[in-house]
Structures are given as structure tokens and as C-alpha cells.
Amino acid sequence: MKIKKMLSCLILTVIFQNSLIIKTYASEYQVIKSDIKQLKFKTFNAPNPPPTHKNNTVEWLYNSLNQNLSPFSEEDTINVIKKSMQSWSDVSGINFIYKGITDNNINDSTDGIITIGFWSSNAYISQHGDNGAFTAIEWNNFNITEGHMILNAGDASDSNSTPSNLLELQGLITHEVGHLLAIAHSDNQESIMFADPYHSYEYQSILRSDDIQIASQLYPVNSNDLLTTVKSNLDIVIQSATFHSANKTSNIWAILEFIGTDSNGNFFWKLKNYGQNSSNTTDSLTTVRPNLDIVILSATFQSSENPSNIWAILEFDKIDSNGDYIWQLKDYGQN
């Protein structure tokens, strides 16, 4: 009873990865949209409105004090954090702003900033067990005010608890960024936020439907934003599109994976993931026609050089032998 009372008024929530503590607090969470079977995401502080970052913006700093205890360089670590955060930005209206290096204590809950960094392996192990990472956030009146993400630098006693390469580090951090956004562990086994048991770090590097749905609900896209992104690897992320079906018009999100070119130099994509959009955006700048052709009026193209604004038309090609929906680039240009 005392613990529940503390949790109801305490603004600090901590989630441990690879720990059983989340099960102790399970009663403090509530499944959202439980009437939709495949959606089982959870948020902090349910059943009250979950806390979110004001203006859909997360400003964060990096503490490199214990970088030497990690197998990764400072530059690689910061870039991986940015990449993990971008995966959430690609499917919602959340924005992350890197503010540089700080020497503030990583787990200082009174400094009013969000800090990320490696913890001393001995201190981390002795205090929290052999975990990959943990994230804490604090909020006031449902506005997240600060937080921290502590990455375990590793310990020989449990080599499996820490990432061994940058892709695994990305997966670990992508899961933890979900907690930073006030997303708790999902009951959907396919979700990267699922924790019973945890997925591999590599699996956690790619958001699934459940993760995308809750991110877009907590942080809806601003209708003034360009809602479609063409990544440098040519994958296409459509945060909001108007789908004109035969019977009605609806708002959807979709991710198209670039699968290469044919012998004639034609570019092709396949549908990787899609779903109904909770955004109330009325001008999505992307339209899916009844014949499944996709018209993108404005998109941000993240080339290896400078981002640019483009338009594109993708012509629906076929459903292949694997059941994948395939599109071909029909036309495009600079906006």
C-alpha cells in the first residue's frame, strides 16, 4: 500500500531493462485501446493522461565521463543515439535536439536536463544488477521535465547484458528512448517494447506496429510538418497519408522498404508496415489512390549531402509470390 501511494504521487519513474522490477509495477499501468487486439502498448501514469514532452521536443545532453569503460567511441555512441531517436521521429511528431556534452551527473534528477551516458561498470552492477540500461523520467502536470538514460559499460560477469557492436547498441537505446518518451513495456510480443522476455538488441533496432501506434498517439504530427521522409537508403517513411479507398477516405501511416532496381534501372519498393493513423491531420501532402498508386506532393529527402524537398509518384506494380505489395517509381523531381 505504501509503495502504491508513493508511486501515485512520485514524479520519478524508472524502467530497468533485463530486470524483473517492471512486473512489480505492472498494476500501475493500464492497457490502452484494449478493444483492438493487436495494440497492447502501455504508458506511464495510466489511467491518467500519460506525461509527454512539451511541444513534442526532447532536448538532451551526453556525458562522456565513463566513455573509456565502453567499447565504443564517443562519436559513434552519440551518432547511434541520434539514429535511435530518429527512428521514433520518423513515425511521429517527436523532435530530438542534441545540446552537446555535459559534466553533470548522469543520474542527477534535480538538474532539469535529460542526460545520457555510460555508468561505471562496477557501480552499475553493484547498484542495479546485470542490466543493459535503465531510463528514468520525471514530470510535473503531465509535462516531462527531465530524465536520464544510463548505459551499462559492461562487466565480465555478464557479457550478454551489454551490446557487442553498434547495431546492438542501437537496439538497446531505441528501446530505452521509448521509455524516455513515457512508453512502458508492451503486451504485444512483436513490439520492441515487449519485455517478457526481451527481444534481442538487434530486433529492438526496428520499430513495430505497436511502437509506431503509441508514438504517433502520444506525439501527433504537426500538420505544418513535411510528413514524408525519404531516407538516404531510399526507404520511405510516410507519417500521414490520405487513403482513398473504394468506400471511404482515411488517414494512414506506412513504411516502404527500398528493394533495389531492375535491369532497366527502375526503382522498386515493398510495403514493410502500415496502419491507421490517430493523427487528425487534414493536409497530409501524400495520397494513396484507390488503385494504390502513391502521390507524394512534398517529402524530405535525406541524402548523404544536404536534405532537400522533393515530390514523387509511385505506381503500384503487383503483389509478388511472397504476398508483398510492390511499387515502382514513376516520376519525381525537386520541389
For 23: left if phi > 0, alpha if psi spans -120 to 50, otherwise beta; the answer is alpha
Ranges for all domains in the chain classified under CATH 3.40.390.10: 2-218
> What's the gap between Cα 157 and its chain centre?
30
267, 234 contact by CB (below 8 A): yes
251, 281 contact by CB (below 8 A): yes
Predicted local confidence at residue 224, as pLDDT: 52
271, 237 contact by CB (below 8 A): no
For domain 2-218, give the CATH superfamily.
Collagenase (Catalytic Domain) (3.40.390.10)
13, 184 contact by CB (below 8 A): no
pLDDT in tens, 236-254: 988 888 888 777 888 888 9
Q: Provide the whole-model pTM.
A: 0.66
pLDDT in tens, 134-163: 888 888 888 999 999 999 876 544 545 778
Predicted local confidence at residue 251, as pLDDT: 85
Find, among 140, 135, 168, 139, the residue nearest to 154 by Cα.
168
Distance CA 109, CA 13 (A): 11
Predicted local confidence at residue 289, as pLDDT: 87
203 CB-contact burial (10 Å; exposed 0-12 / middle 13-18 / buried 19+): middle
Mean pLDDT of 92-96: 87
Give SS3 for 187: coil
pLDDT in tens, 266-297: 999 999 988 887 655 555 678 898 889 998 88
Mean pLDDT of 157-180: 85
188, 178 contact by CB (below 8 A): no
